Amino acid sequence: MKIICIGRNYAKHIEELENEKPKNPVIFLKPDSAILHKNQPFFIPPFSNEIHYEVEVLVKINKVGKFIDEKFAHKYYDEIGLGIDFTARDIQATCKEKGLPWEKAKAFDGSALIGNFFPKETFKDLNNLSFTLLKNGEVVQEGNTNAMLWKIDELISYVSQFFTLKKGDIIFTGTPAGVGKVKEDDILSGAIENTPNFSVKIK
């Protein structure tokens, strides 16, 4: 399986990082070694002094697809989840300055927290899903899929132009504003439509 991540999909997050609004979805990948195993803490890696949390709605692909028409994209997933794209912001900034790839900042071991998945029928409208991230009990990120620049079906169609989607692949659909630094002993917890989804301790 592969983890396909979408960057710059929420306008306010683009603004907070002072990035340029893209004409098309920004895509990057994480290897399966980036997955943070369930019930395990996140260990701050020694190579970064600025690890940021980025909460995101996740989509799990349920069958093989290539060049998927947007109107058929809904047939390629039946589960929605929540997760965190941990980012070494200091390393990312250096890479961006030099025009280098982001993998060291985005795809390191444990950088992909994948929470619980729910049948998509659980939700009334996938384009109007609210989700939150709490740090030590306080809300630090609030988002809604209605603010996505590219909706879920659009993303699936676009990504499938470049990568064959396979059963079990997971798409991270982008993060809203409010990203920030983690520190030792923080507890991060996420919820989608007010339903608790995950909790992780930072070490």
Tell me if residue 133 falls in helix, strand or coil.
strand
CATH of the domain at 26: 3.90.850.10
Q: What is the pLDDT of residue 13?
A: 58
Q: Which positions ≥6 away from 182 have C-beta within 8 Å?
A: 42, 44, 51, 52, 53, 86, 135, 188, 202
pLDDT tens for each residue of the chain, 203 residues long: 999 999 889 876 556 655 666 789 999 999 999 999 888 999 999 999 999 999 999 999 999 999 999 999 999 999 999 999 999 999 999 998 899 998 999 999 999 999 999 999 999 999 999 999 999 999 999 999 999 999 999 999 999 999 999 999 999 999 999 999 999 999 999 999 999 999 999 99
**Cα distances (Å, whole numbers) of residue 51 to 17, 18, 86:** 14, 18, 7
- For residue 18, count other CB atoms closer than 10 A to its CB: 6
Tell me if residue 32 falls in helix, strand or coil.
helix
Q: What is the pLDDT of residue 18?
A: 57
Q: What is the pLDDT of residue 99?
A: 92
Q: What is the tally of structural domains in the chain?
A: 1
Domain enclosing residue 104, as ranges:
3-201
- Global pTM value: 0.94
